[in-house]
Amino acid sequence: MNAAYPATRLRRPRATAWSRAMHRETVLTPADLIWPLFVTEGANVEQPVASLPGVSRWSVDGIVARAKEAVALGIPCLALFPNTPAAARSADAAEALNPDNLMCRAIRAIRDACGDSIGVLTDVALDPYTSHGQDGLLDDAGYVANDITVEMLVGQALVQAEAGSDIVAPSDMMDGRIGAIRAGLEAGGHHNVQIMSYAAKYASAFYGPFRDAVGSTGVLQGDKKTYQMDPANGDEALREVALDLAEGADSVMVKPGLAYLDIIWRVKQQFGVPVFAYQVSGEYALIEAGVAAGIASREALVMEKLIGFKRAGCSGILTYHAPLAARLLGA
């Protein structure tokens, strides 16, 4: 117990910058950041995403340049998402299994340029490859069929691992996919490829700008509520995490981040495993809109939110503000 005022003055340690730093409970470093990047076809291509100010799609050569930038900033990992051309999308998502698809070419290019100096995390889901925009294959009734989708996801994870992915991150929310992917990776000799499971991924309104970035806006038929979680549910998230850990996930993710800090906290407290959050596109866009409206500085808003994720229990955060934050933290 603390002594009473005035023997205890909680403002005393806040009086100077050095003292505030010494008493700081939560520490954020560039090593806590994962930088999501969007890959597109072509060469020397940068396509700004209108709904994500400051974010672009990059051709593979541009992705390599961003990888080198990340290494210099101390960012340990990139997360890649492909903007698959419409002509390569199909109902059966066959392009997901192409070992020379956009994602695999980007993985190999980063690995050739940077070696093991940076980690590569790759999205495992079929929505960048389906003509209907769903994360899985549809049955005759138009329902996303779980088990045949899982078979495709295993194949997708394997081509990414063979291209050099360090972490495969299933974002599809199909039942049983973590165990199936883990078994496939083990059988394929990819014993050290990690699985970061999107274990608690909610059917959120904050994903809109991301769909613009990967070319899914206007493609998606229906919604994703039959597999992504109801935002009202918390206990269900713990069940999802428990299942994924039992099936072989090395780490888990909560997505989106800011509206689900309670879920991050509960997962960390109950399981004590590495928990990551995705500060999703809508969250990023709201910060940028706030900056444009003059409510606060970009730097202050970004750092306060990232510290909030860490304080809630995150081992790391996927954020489009990663290079800005890394520069601020390295200053």
Catalytic residue annotation: 201, 255
- Pairing mode, strands 46-48 and 56-58: antiparallel
Q: Which helix (H) or strand (E) holds 75?
A: none
Beta bridge partner(s), residue 121: 79, 167
Contact 264, 275 (CB under 8 A): yes
Alpha-carbon distance of 125 to 139, in angstroms, equals 17
Of 177, 118, 171, 120, nearest to 146 by C-alpha is 177
Using DSSP's 3-state secondary structure scheme, residue 41 falls into coil
162: left (phi over 0), alpha (psi -120 to 50) or beta: alpha
**DSSP tag of 134:** -
Residue carrying the six token digits 């996919």: 177
Long-range contacts formed by 183-186: CB under 8 A, 24+ apart: 183/154, 184/154, 184/155, 184/157, 184/158, 185/157, 185/158, 185/161
Q: Which helix (H) or strand (E) holds 162?
A: helix 146-163
List, in order, residues 6 or more apart from 121 with CB less than 8 Å away. 34, 77, 78, 79, 80, 165, 166, 167, 168, 169, 196
List, in order, residues 6 or more apart from 75 with CB less than 8 Å away. 30, 31, 33, 34, 35, 118, 322, 323, 326
